[in-house]
Amino acid sequence: MSTSYFREELGNGIGFTSIIDPKFKTNTFRVKFITKLDEYISPKNTLAISILCSCNSEYKTIAELSKKLNALYGSALYGESGIRGDNQIISMSMSCIEDRYAIEKEKIFDELFELFELCLFKPNSTNGEFDSREFSLKKRDLIEAVKSEINNKRGYAVMRSRKTIFTGEPLEFSVNGTIEIAQEITSAECYEAYLDFLRYSQVEVFFVGPKPMDNLKEKIQKAFSQVEREVRTKIIYNLSPLKEVLSEVTEELDVNQSKMVMALKSTNPNKYANSLMSKILGGTTFSKLFVNVREKLSLCYYCSAMYMLSKGTLVIDSGVEQSNIEKAKNEILNQLNEIKLGNFTDEDMENTVLYIANSLKSVGDTPSSLVGWYMDKYYLGEICTPYEEIKKYEAIKREDVIEAAKSFELDTVYIMNGKNDNMEEEE
Amino acid sequence: MSEIKVIHDEITGEKYNYIKHSSGLDILVWEMEGFSSTEALFGTKYGSINTMFKTEDDENYTAVPEGIAHFLEHKLFENEDTDVFDLYAKTGASANAYTSFDKTCYLFSCSDNYQESLKILLSFVQKPYFTKESVDKEQGIIGQEIKMTEDNPGWRVFFNLLKCLYHNHPVKIDIAGTVESIAKIDADLLYKCYGTFYNLHNMVLSIAGNVKTDEVIKIADELLIPTKDKKLETVFEEEPYGIVQKEVVQKMPVGTPIFHIGFKSNALIGYEGLKAEMETYVAVNVIADAFSELYKELMDDGLVNNSFSTEVFNGDGYFTVIFAGESKDPREVLNRIKMAINKAKKDGLNREHFDVIKKATYGSTIREFNNVDSVANLLINNYFSNLSPFDGVKILSQMTYEDVQSCLIERFDTENVAISIIES
C-alpha cells in the first residue's frame, strides 16, 4: 500500500489536494483560507470561523449541529485560526469514520459534506449580520480565550516575546487580538470579514481518505461557485529584520518559575542548514542545550530551540530560576558559539539528520500531518515529498552548519520574572 | 518457548498478537499494514499511587516517599557508562518516558531501525544505575519541574479537587511529589523500588505499527533476563465513600476563574470498571454535552464558555466524574449541574440523546485504530487494567438505556461532590 498525492487548480484561486491511502479508516476534509495577518481584521476572521463552525441556516445552534455530528458517528467539524509566515490561515475542518464502519450503512461523508456547505456558504445570518445569540456567545468565548492566554505560562511568555521580536511586522499581532479589540467587534463587521475571506483569499482544499470520493472535485467547484471570487491576498513571508540595538524586555508575573525567550535572526539563504543547526543546538534530547544547559548544569527544566523558517528567526525558550537567568543566557549563547567554532562531531550531525529523517518519514501516518505537510510546502512554494526533503538535509555539509550558526545574531531577550521565584533562597 | 495467541475482534475486524514470553514478560504486538512508523512502550504497573507495597520476600509493607516512581523514571535514563538518549541518537528514534497515577512507561517512536531502538529500550530499562551524585543532581531538575507545575492552573485545579475528594487514597498526591518529599529519596530506596516493580511479571511491552512479531520475539529472546514472579502486592489505605471538604479556592494569575467539579463514587476494577466508566461517559455526555439543556442554559446565562468539558477519571481505587471549565460564578455552575442531574434522575435521561451519544462513542472507538500511537497506548492501558483493547466496543454494543440510567443514580451523588476553584 502507498500514499498517492495529487494537487490541481480548480480555478478562481482554489487549489485541491487529494491524498489517498488505503490504510486510513477515516475521511478528512479541510479548507484553508490564506489571508492577511492584521491587527484588527484577523480577530474578526477568528470570530467568524468559530461562528460558522457552530451553526448554519438549517442547524441554527451549536446544540442542533452537535446532535447531527454525533449522529454521524461522532464526526468532527471545527474551525481554526492560525499563522503561517506573515499570513493568517483560517481553516474549516471535518473528519468522519469511513462509510464501511457505519452500522446503519449511512453515507457519512456525503452527509458531512452537506453540513460543510451549509456552514461555509449558508450561515445563520440575516441582513448582513450573524444571528445575534450565536454571535454574542462566540464573541464572549473569544474574549475569555484572550483572557486565558495567561494560564499557560510557557506559551504566554513566547506570545508576549513575539511583540518585541517582531515589532513593526504583522507577526507582532495575534489572530485573537486583544480584549479591547475583541470587545469592539460588531456582528456586521464580523460578517463582512467572513465575506471578504470567502471572496478574496487564496483557498487550499485537502481531502485525505482510503479511497477517492466520487465527484468531490466537482462538488467543491459547485460549492464555491456560489461566491464571486477574486483573489486579492498574496502569500507573504519576509525575513524578520535584525534590530540595530538588542531589545531586552523584562516583565513580572506572580509565578514560581521564571521564563526566558531569546530570539536570534539570520539572513542566511540556506534554510535547511539553518534548520539543521537549530536542531543540533536545541531540537532533540541529545542536542547541545538539552545535554549541557538542562542535564549537565541543571539550569533549566526545559530549554529548546525552534527555527521559524519563513521568518529566518531562531527562538530559544526556557523555564529557569530567576537567580540562574544570567548563567542560562550565557550558557545558551556559549553553546551556539561552540557550533560557530565547529565544536560538534560528525556524529552529532549524522544523528540529527537521522532524527529529522525518522520524523519526516512518519508524516504519511496521520491525515493531519499529511495536510500540514502539503499545506506548508504549497505555502513555501516548493512542493516535495518528505523523502525528497530528507535528501536536502542529507546534502548539508559541516561547513554549512557552521556558516548557519555564524549567521545568527541576538535580537531580543524577553524575561518573565517570577515574583515568587527564589523565595526559598530568601528564607 | 514463548506462546503466541492471535486476539481477533469480530466487530471491528482488528487483531493483534499476544505473546507470553518465557522470561515472564507479556508482549503485545499490533502489526499495522501500510504505516511507516512504529511506537513501542515498555511499561511497569508502577505509578504515583503505589506508595505502599510488599513482595513474598518482605514481611511488612514498605512505605516510600511521594514522587518516587516519577523520580525513578528520570534516573533510569542514565546508564553506568552512557546516557540513554545518546544511544537513541544513533537510531534516529524519538524517545521519552512518562509516569502516571498507575504506570510508568518508557517509549520510542521511529520510522526506521525499530529493531535497534527496541534493543536499546529493553536493555536500559533492565539496567538500573543510581549513585548519590546522580540522585542529588536529579533533585534539582525535578525541583524545576515541580515549580513549573505549581504555575500551571490547569494542573493545580485538578489536584486541589482530588485533595478535596480523597482522604487517604494516594491519587491525591502530585505525581512528581514535592520538593520536600523528593529530598528523602536516595539510591538505596530507588534500588528497592526498582527491584520490586521492574520485575518482568509486573511489566508489559506494547508495540504497534510497522513491526513484525517474529522480529520482536527474537529481540526479546536475546535481551530479556528471566525473572521470578515475586508475588507483588500493593495496598492502599481504606478510602471512605464520603469526601474531605466541599470546596477549595486557590489564588494565582488566571484569566476567567477556572473550576473542576468532581462527583466521587465507589471504584471498580477490570471489566466492571470499564463498563462503569463507559456508562458514566455516556451519561455525563447526555447531561452536559453541547446538545444538552444544561449546556444551553449555562451558555445562555454566561456561566461557562467553550472550555466547558467533562471527564470520567477512574483507576485502581478511585472513580470521579469531573466537570471542568471557566466561569465568573463556578458555584452557580455547580448548582445548575446538580439540578440537571436530579432532574435526569427523576424524569430519566433523554432517550434519543442517549442513542446519539452511543453512536458517537462507537465512532471515536474506531478512530483510535487509525493511528499507530493511539493503538500502542490502547494496548498498554487496557493490559494494565486486565482488559482487551476490544472490550470497549463490546461493552458499547451491549449497553442499554437502563444500564446508563442506573449508572446515573449510582455515580452522580449530588451529596458527594466537591468544587475546586482557581481565581486571580
Find out whether B49 and B171 touch, Cβ atoms under 8 Å. yes
Q: Report pLDDT digits (tens) over B311-361.
A: 999 999 999 999 999 999 999 999 999 999 999 999 999 999 999 999 999
Q: Report pLDDT digits (tens) over A146-173.
A: 999 999 999 999 999 999 999 999 999 9
**Is A395 a member of any domain?**
yes
Which run of H or E residues covers position A283? Answer: none
Percent of chain A with pLDDT over 70: 98
**Which residues of chain B have a CB within 8 Å of the CB of A24?**
370
Same domain, A209 and A265: no
Pull the grid cell for residue B50: 503505589
Mean pLDDT computed over B99-103: 97
Does B3-234 match B247-423 in CATH topology?
yes
Helix (H, G, I), strand (E, B), or coil: what is residue A2?
coil
Pull the grid cell for residue B251: 489564588
Q: Report pLDDT digits (tens) over A56-83.
A: 999 999 999 999 999 999 999 999 999 9
- pLDDT category, A257, cuts 50, 70, 90? confident
Mean pLDDT computed over A184-195: 98
Res A412: pLDDT? 98
Same domain, A169 and A285: no
Res A423: pLDDT? 43
**Is A232 a member of any domain?**
no
Rounded CA separation B344/B346 (Å): 5
Res B171: pLDDT? 97
Question: How far does CA B309 lie from the centroid of its chain?
Answer: 18
Res A3: pLDDT? 85
Mean pLDDT computed over A401-423: 88
Percent of chain B with pLDDT over 70: 100
Which residue in A23, A71, A151 is closest to B255 by CB distance?
A: A151
Same domain, A279 and A177: no
Name the residue with cell 501500510: B34
Q: Please judge whether A148 and B256 are an interchain contact, meaning their C-beta atoms are less than 8 angstroms apart.
A: yes
DSSP states of B167-221 = SS-GGGS-TT--HHHHTT--HHHHHHHHHHH--GGGEEEEEEES--HHHHHHHHH
Q: Which residues of B are catalytic?
A: 73
Q: Report pLDDT digits (tens) over A218-227.
A: 999 999 999 9
> Which has the higher per-residue pLDDT, A108 or A237?
A108
Task: Classify residue A326 by its DSSP letter.
Answer: H
Alpha-carbon gap: B277 to the closest alpha carbon of chain A (Å): 18
Residues in chain B: 424
Question: How far does CA B156 lie from the centroid of its chain?
Answer: 17
Mean pLDDT computed over B84-103: 95
Question: At residue B7, what are phi and psi to the nearest 5 degrees?
Answer: -100, 115
Res B81: pLDDT? 77
DSSP states of B374-399 = HHHHHHHHHHHTT--TTHHHHHHHH-
**Is A230 a member of any domain?**
no
Mean pLDDT computed over B18-44: 97
Question: Mean pLDDT across chain A, nearest whole number?
Answer: 94
Question: Which residues neighbour A127 within 8 Å (Cβ) at sequence distance 6 or greater?
Answer: none
State the pairing for strand pair B15-20/B26-31. Answer: antiparallel
Same domain, A199 and A261: no
CATH number at residue A277: 3.30.830.10
- The structural domains of chain B, with segments of one domain joined by +, span 3-234, 247-423
**Which residues of chain B have a CB within 8 Å of the CB of A144?**
255-256, 305, 307, 326
Give the residue from chain A lying closest to B397, CA to CA: A103
**Which residues of chain B have a CB within 8 Å of the CB of A256?**
147-148, 150-151
- pLDDT category, A298, cuts 50, 70, 90? confident
Rounded CA separation A349/A353 (Å): 6
Res A296: pLDDT? 87
Res A254: pLDDT? 85
Q: Please judge whether A354 and B153 are an interchain contact, meaning their C-beta atoms are less than 8 angstroms apart.
A: no
Rounded CA separation B352/A185 (Å): 38
Find out whether A338 and A278 touch, Cβ atoms under 8 Å. no
CB-based burial of residue B269 (10 Å sphere; 0-12 exposed, 13-18 middle, 19+ buried)? middle
Closest CA to A319 of B44, B380, B144: B144
Closest CA to A70 of A106, A100, A46: A106
**Is A174 a member of any domain?**
yes
DSSP states of B237-289 = ----SS-S-SEEEEE---SS-EEEEEEE-----HHHHHHHHHHHHHHHHHHHS
pLDDT beyond 80 at A422: no
CATH placement of domain B3-234 = 3.30.830.10
Q: Please judge whether A362 and B362 are an interchain contact, meaning their C-beta atoms are less than 8 angstroms apart.
A: no
Closest CA to B324 of A158, A94, A135, A148: A148
- pLDDT category, A421, cuts 50, 70, 90? low
Same domain, A200 and A266: no
Q: Which residues pair with B52 in a beta bridge?
A: B63
Residue type (1 letter), A168: G
**Superfamily of domain B247-423, CATH level 4:** Metalloenzyme, LuxS/M16 peptidase-like (3.30.830.10)
Find out whether A377 and A383 touch, Cβ atoms under 8 Å. yes
Rounded CA separation B55/A269 (Å): 62
Q: How many domains does chain A have?
A: 2
Pull the grid cell for residue A258: 521564571
**Is A146 a member of any domain?**
yes
**Which residues of chain B have a CB within 8 Å of the CB of A362?**
36-37, 109, 111, 372
Q: Which residue range forms the structural domain that includes residue A196? A: 4-224
pLDDT beyond 90 at A90: yes
Stated pTM of the model: 0.94
Which residue in B150, B258, B291 is closest to A66 by CB distance?
A: B291
Which residue in A137, A153, A347 is closest to B299 by CB distance?
A: A137
Give the residue from chain B lying closest to A69, CA to CA: B360
Mutation site for B-interface testing, chosen from A67, A208, A318 by largest number of B Cβ within 10 Å: A67
Same domain, A98 and A65: yes
Res B140: pLDDT? 82
Q: Please judge whether B295 and A63 are an interchain contact, meaning their C-beta atoms are less than 8 angstroms apart.
A: yes
Res A425: pLDDT? 36
pLDDT beyond 80 at B110: yes
Same domain, A158 and A46: yes
pLDDT beyond 70 at B48: yes
Rounded CA separation A276/A281 (Å): 9
Closest CA to A121 of A239, A25, A220, A38: A220
Question: Which residues neighbour A269 within 8 Å (Cβ) at sequence distance 6 or greater?
Answer: none
**Is A147 a member of any domain?**
yes
pLDDT beyond 90 at A103: no
**Which residues of chain B have a CB within 8 Å of the CB of A418?**
151
Res B11: pLDDT? 86
